[in-house]
Amino acid sequence: DAGVTQSPTHLIKTRGQQVTLRCSPKSGHDTVSWYQQALGQGPQFIFQYYEEEERQRGNFPDRFSGHQFPNYSSELNVNALLLGDSALYLCASSLSGTQYFGPGTRLLVL
């Protein structure tokens, strides 16, 4: 089992650009949650996808959007990037509650 994988590992963008991050869940897991972890902070819940629908959402603006595909993989899209969007973006997959995390994508916005 490859575990949760995320791509890319690192990304550098400039303000105003758009970015897409990708996540492949553990085999058999049907739920994907996304978190943002700023430097020195705990993760903050962005949203969760199940059966290709956004099931719940944290306190993030509409610039943050996502998608889940029929194979349960997921994308996180961020539009109109701000300097404050620089962070580690974590994907977690689950089947029965326990969330397993990928290594994250480190995004730097200049």
Partner 1 sequence: QKEVEQDPGPLSVPEGAIVSLNCTYSNSAFQYFMWYRQYSRKGPELLMYTYSSGNKEDGRFTAQVDKSSKYISLFIRDSQPSDSATYLCAMSFNAGNNRKLIWGLGTSLGVNP
- In the complex, which residues of this chain contact partner 1 (CB under 8 A)? 4, 30-31, 33, 35, 40-45, 48, 50, 55-56, 58, 90, 92, 94-104, 106
CB of 16 to partner 1, least distance (A): 27
Of residues 12 and 17, the one with the C-beta less far from partner 1:
12
* C-alpha distance from residue 42 to each of 23, 39, 82, 89, 107 (Å): 20, 8, 20, 11, 16
Of residues 81 and 104, the one with the C-beta less far from partner 1:
104
Of residues 73 and 103, the one with the C-beta less far from partner 1:
103
Taking a C-beta distance cutoff of 8 angstroms, is the pair 103, 21 a contact?
no
Coil vs helix vs strand at 48: strand
CB of 11 to partner 1, least distance (A): 14
CB of 74 to partner 1, least distance (A): 15
Of residues 4 and 109, the one with the C-beta less far from partner 1:
4
**Pairwise CA distance, residues 63 & 52, whole Å:** 19
**Pairwise CA distance, residues 102 & 15, whole Å:** 26
